[in-house]
Every structure is written in C-alpha cells, then in structure tokens.
C-alpha cells in the first residue's frame, strides 16, 4: 500500500494471501461475511491529523465488518457468534475482540447492521437529532440524499415532522429520494443550479442543513439559512480527493443569521449506540425507516467497488460480500 495524492490508484493497495496462525489466549478467529465501504476510507489514507490515526503502510485496510466467530479463546465470545467491528478488508481476522460486539439479527438481514443499524445509521441518528437539534416544522436540507447517511437523515427528519429536501445527482436518484424515501422534494445537482433548486424547494429558508459533500453545495446552502440555523458537517466527499481543499466562501451568513456550523464524528456517541439501534429497529418494523444496501461480491473487486463511493454509481449503503 502507498499513500495516494488525489484519487487513489489501484496500486494503492495489494491483495495478499497468508496462512492463518494458531490463536493465542484471549483471541478470536472471525470469518468476515460483509465489509463496509465508507467515504471516510479515503481520509484514513492521509497521514494528517484527524479524529483517528491513519492506516499505516502495510496494514490491512481499515473497514467495518460483520462476520462469524469460527474459534474462540476469549471468554466473551463463543464459536458461532455473529459479531460486528473493525476487522478490515480481509476474509478472516484474528484479534482480541476489542471493539467487537455481538449481533442478534432476528428477522433482519446481516448487511443492515453495517448500514442502517451500523456506522452510517448511527451517524445519521446522532447527527440530525443531537447536532442538528431538529424540531417539528423545521425545513431540513440534506446533501448526498440517496447515500448511506443522507437517506437515513432525511427519513428520521420526516419521522420527527420536518419538511425534508434532498440534493442528489441525476433523475433516478432524485426519484428514489422522493418516491421511495418519502422526502418532500429533491434538487438534481447534475442537471440544475443548486442555488435555484434551493430557492424553489425551500422558499422559507433552511433551518438545518446536513452536509455530506462540502464545496459549492455547502456554499449554496449557506445563502439560504434562517436565523439560528444549524449546519451539521458530517462529510465533504467533494473535497476528499482534492489536493487543495476548498472552504466555504459564504461563511459570513453564519454571523448574520446567528447560525452554527458543527462537525460531528460518530465515535463520540458510542456509549449511546444501543439506544439508537433499539429505536431504529422499531422504526424499521413500523415501516417508517427503509434500509437500502448496494452489495457487490469478491474481495478481488475491492478497487472497482471503492470507486463507486465517489463516482455516484450507488444507492444507499455500499457493501462488499466475501
């Protein structure tokens, strides 16, 4: 593996085969079934100060995972347990179980637990409720609305009685956001001016903007924020592969409108994950919250699947099946 400049090339990673060693005391052997793809993976490749250490050269690529315990010398886990954690992009993982937790899937498919009930769902839940502080009647604008996080953000905001407008790329995704996810409207950033779209869809301004993309779309949203608006900075996918990151030009709108722009990192809420999962399970059972997984097979196809994070060729949560 090497550190990329700009968009990663295929030789940023290499596929290795190794023989599994025997377990030491307190270790478990996991066969990974599903691997999570997240835009944050690009940031984890940069050797810069961040909320988490970068992936080291030669290490397994960091990724969320779900798998089955095949062997255990750890009293907290038993053979056959289904576990989720950070096993990385590999078919098998040996570790001490730290950061892994058991899953009881019930009637739900396993991929839901690295999507709607995994990191993207937790990001959406705490980002819109605790950072966005939505209340009934708010107008909520969500970028990357057809994606793993944005799609859940908008649905939660609808459950809480908000008017929800999405921003997505292309008619197909906009139709999905409105017809399948129940958003009140959607702006097609690929085929119309985002500024004109926000003016049309949010005639009374924006109370909460959930930002997944940064760049020009963030600047457009800043024009229309209301007094005491809340901007949740969850991601900036438009900037992740840029060598010179572009910050907001319209930031003075925050001053004029006494608005706040707050970053959120999902790991800060880890002690509350179980509560969020319980609530979101109820919404899924009530058919108020829809879960969409975009699943591809084969670890050898890692790079082609990784590219889908950034070229828009996906809906919902992007997952690798092993």
Based on the domain organization, do 82 and 197 belong to the same domain?
no
Based on the domain organization, do 306 and 188 belong to the same domain?
no
Cα distance between residue 282 and residue 303, in whole Å? 35
What CATH number did the domain enclosing 216 receive?
3.40.50.720
What CATH number did the domain enclosing 28 receive?
3.90.180.10
Q: 91-112: per-residue pLDDT in tens?
A: 999 999 998 999 988 889 999 9
CA distances from 203 to 137, 144, 191, 207 (A): 14, 21, 20, 12
Q: 178-224: per-residue pLDDT in tens?
A: 999 999 999 999 999 999 999 999 999 999 999 999 999 999 999 99
Is 272 a member of any domain? Answer: no
Q: 1-55: per-residue pLDDT in tens?
A: 678 888 999 999 999 999 999 999 999 999 999 999 988 898 889 887 777 888 9
Based on the domain organization, do 129 and 110 belong to the same domain?
no
The domain containing residue 98 runs over which residues?
10-115+292-321
- Determine the longest span between alpha carbons in the chain, in angstroms: 63
Q: 64-83: per-residue pLDDT in tens?
A: 999 999 999 999 999 999 99
Based on the domain organization, do 175 and 48 belong to the same domain?
no
Domains held by the chain: number: 2
Is 274 a member of any domain? Answer: no
Q: 217-246: per-residue pLDDT in tens?
A: 999 999 999 999 999 999 887 776 766 677
Based on the domain organization, do 126 and 225 belong to the same domain?
yes
Dihedral angle computed from the Cα positions of residues 90, 94, 96 and 102, in that order, rounded to the nearest 10 degrees: 60
């Amino acid at each position: 593996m090497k550190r990329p400049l700009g968009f990663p090339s295929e030789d940023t990673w290499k596929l290795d085969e190794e023989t599994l060693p025997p377990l030491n005391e307190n270790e478990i052997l996991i066969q990974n079934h599903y691997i999570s793809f997240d835009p944050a993976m690009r940031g984890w490749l940069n050797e810069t100060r961040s909320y988490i250490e970068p992936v080291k050269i030669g290490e397994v690529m960091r990724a969320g995972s779900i798998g089955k315990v095949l062997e255990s010398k750890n009293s907290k886990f038993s053979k056959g347990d289904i576990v989720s954690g950070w096993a990385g992009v590999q078919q098998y993982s040996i570790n001490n179980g730290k950061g892994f937790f058991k899953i009881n899937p019930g009637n739900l498919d396993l991929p839901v637990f690295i999507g709607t009930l995994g990191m993207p769902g937790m990001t959406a839940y705490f980002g819109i409720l605790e950072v966005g502080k939505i209340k009934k009647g708010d107008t909520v604008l969500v970028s990357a609305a057809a994606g793993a996080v944005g799609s859940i953000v908008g649905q939660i905001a609808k459950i809480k009685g908000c008017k929800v407008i999405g921003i997505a790329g292309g008619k197909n995704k906009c139709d999905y956001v409105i017809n399948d996810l129940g958003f009140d409207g959607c702006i097609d950033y690929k085929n119309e001016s985002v500024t004109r779209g926000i003016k049309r869809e949010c005639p009374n301004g924006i109370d909460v903007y959930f930002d997944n993309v940064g760049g020009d779309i963030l600047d457009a949203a800043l024009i229309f924020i209301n007094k005491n608006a809340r901007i949740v900075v969850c991601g900036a996918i438009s900037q992740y592969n840029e060598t010179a990151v572009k910050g907001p030009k319209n930031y003075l709108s925050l001053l004029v409108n006494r608005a706040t722009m707050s970053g959120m990192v999902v790991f800060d809420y880890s002690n509350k994950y179980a509560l969020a999962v319980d609530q979101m399970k109820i919404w899924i059972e009530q058919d108020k919250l829809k879960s969409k997984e975009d699943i591809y097979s084969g670890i050898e196809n890692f790079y082609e699947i990784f590219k889908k994070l950034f070229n828009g060729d996906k809906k919902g949560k992007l997952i690798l099946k092993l």
